[in-house]
């Protein structure tokens, strides 16, 4: 499918900025093959709407190459993705924001340092065993509920500029209930993809640490934030790159290394990026901050070509 002039300019920006291809001759760009990785064997000619690897023969249409690299399923998904390269600092995808609602903690909520009940002691002992300082958690607003919908759960609140926007309710006692029981979107006014635990750190620190969960971010400290899962949403991406932080170290759980690399491939043209791969069954909370630091030292800052090679290897 031939591309319009406007779309072609976006595609050109993708291949030159994102893949590092360089102008060659007769309208061709030349660089490394996204399929076999051969150095300077891949050519792109937007005027002829074609590509070719002179080693492995990979020869999809330019738009199809981008879909292949980004693992997109439709042309619309690829076109939306290319909005990143339309001459602006970042692309912020449209998101659904419900009518803002007044949100508050559950009625039975108590700060983690308060109370002498058996459950209060269980919560504090549980968190101490996981390596947390109880007084530090109090300053973060962490607590627990003794009755109601979130009974017998630890509550981890999300604040943005001092305003409560969400909370995680995590199970402490083993039973048949789910590990997390969080407030539904219609009660909060925003969905999971619009949330970042400790979002304020993006505006306070030059180097920040992207992690899956609020628990992992709490383990690291004030410069870490949690995205609530393995996948970086478009909204979260936009919030990160428009913030003044300069360096992002991505530390997801071991089973999410592919998602960590994909997130880094989106961020690397806006921030200095490092991806840290943990060993099986490790996460930041289970191994603690000191061992996490040891992991971080093993990995280097990366460029897009490094990430693409890494992704092909896995």
User: Which region among 4-8, 48-52, 151-155, 244-248 has the lowest average model confidence (pLDDT)?
Assistant: 4-8
Q: Which residue has the higher pLDDT, 293 or 162?
A: 293
CA distance 27 to 24: 7
Q: Which residue blocks in 130-271 are alpha helix, DSSP H?
A: 134-139, 185-188, 214-220, 234-242, 257-267
Computed over every residue of the chain, the mean pLDDT equals 86
Give me the half-sphere count of Cα atoms (radius 13 Å) on the Cβ side of residue 104: 6
Stretch 140-162: mean pLDDT: 92
For residue 117, the tally of other CB atoms under 10 A from its CB is: 12
Cα torsion 66, 69, 74, 76: sign: negative
Residue 195: partners with Cβ closer than 8 Å, 6 or more residues away = 158, 165, 166, 228
What is the pTM assigned to this prediction?
A: 0.69
Q: What gap in Å lies between CA 170 and CA 270, rounded to an integer?
A: 34
- The percent of residues above 70 in pLDDT, for the chain, comes to 89
pLDDT for position 275: 98
Contacts of residue 304, defined as CB under 8 A and 6 or more positions apart, other chains included, come to: 18, 19, 20, 265, 268, 269
Residue 43, strand partner residues? 30, 52
pLDDT tens string 38-96:
888 999 988 888 899 988 888 999 888 988 888 787 777 787 777 655 433 333 444 44
Mean pLDDT of 138-164: 92
> Which range is least confidently modeled, 12-16, 23-27, 103-107, 173-177?
173-177
User: Which tokens in the block code for residue 254?
Assistant: 């071991």
pLDDT at 251 over 90: yes
Q: Name the β-bridge partners of 273.
A: 248, 302
**pLDDT tens figures, 83-93:** 655 433 333 44
Q: What percent of the chain has pLDDT over 90?
A: 47
Average pLDDT (255-265) is 93
Asked whether the predicted pLDDT for residue 127 surpasses 50, the reply is yes
Tens of pLDDT, residues 167-217: 999 888 776 667 778 887 666 666 677 889 999 999 999 999 999 999 999
Taken in order 266, 269, 270, 272, the sign of the CA dihedral is positive
Q: What is the pLDDT of residue 274?
A: 98
pLDDT in tens, 265-304: 989 988 999 999 999 888 999 999 999 999 999 999 999 8
- pLDDT in the model for residue 182: 81
| Residue 98 reports pLDDT greater than 80 | no
Q: Which of 100-114, 240-254, 290-304 has the lowest mean pLDDT?
A: 100-114
Q: What is the distance of C-alpha 61 from the center of its chain? A: 30
Whole-number pLDDT of residue 81: 76
11 or 203, greater pLDDT: 203
4 has a pLDDT exceeding 70: no
């Amino acid at each position: 499918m031939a591309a319009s002039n406007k779309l072609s300019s976006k595609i050109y920006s993708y291949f030159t900025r994102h893949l590092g291809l360089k102008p060659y001759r007769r309208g061709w760009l030349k660089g490394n093959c996204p399929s076999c990785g051969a150095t300077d064997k891949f050519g792109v000619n937007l005027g002829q709407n074609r590509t070719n690897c002179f080693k492995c023969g990979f020869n999809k249409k330019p738009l199809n190459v981008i879909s292949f690299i980004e693992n997109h399923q439709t042309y619309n998904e690829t076109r939306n993705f290319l909005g990143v390269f339309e001459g602006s600092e970042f692309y912020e995808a449209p998101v659904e924001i419900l009518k803002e609602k007044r949100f508050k903690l559950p009625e039975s909520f108590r700060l983690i340092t308060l109370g002498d009940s058996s459950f209060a002691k269980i919560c504090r002992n549980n968190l101490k065993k996981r390596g947390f300082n109880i007084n530090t958690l109090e300053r973060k607003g962490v607590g627990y509920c003794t009755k109601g919908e979130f009974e017998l759960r630890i509550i981890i609140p999300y604040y943005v500029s001092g305003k409560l926007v969400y909370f995680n309710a995590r199970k402490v006692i083993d039973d048949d209930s789910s590990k997390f029981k969080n407030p539904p979107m219609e009660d909060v006014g925003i969905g999971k993809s619009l949330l970042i635990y400790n979002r304020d750190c993006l505006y306070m620190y030059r180097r920040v640490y992207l992690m899956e969960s609020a628990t992992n971010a709490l383990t690291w400290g004030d410069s870490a934030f949690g995205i609530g899962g393995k996948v970086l949403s478009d909204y979260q991406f936009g919030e990160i790159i428009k913030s003044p932080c300069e360096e992002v170290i991505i530390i997801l759980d071991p089973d999410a290394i592919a998602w960590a690399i994909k997130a880094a491939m989106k961020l690397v043209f806006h921030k200095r990026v490092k991806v840290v791969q943990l060993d099986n069954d490790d996460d930041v909370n289970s191994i603690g901050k000191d061992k996490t630091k040891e992991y971080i030292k093993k990995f280097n800052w990366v460029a897009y070509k490094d990430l693409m090679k890494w992704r092909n290897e896995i």
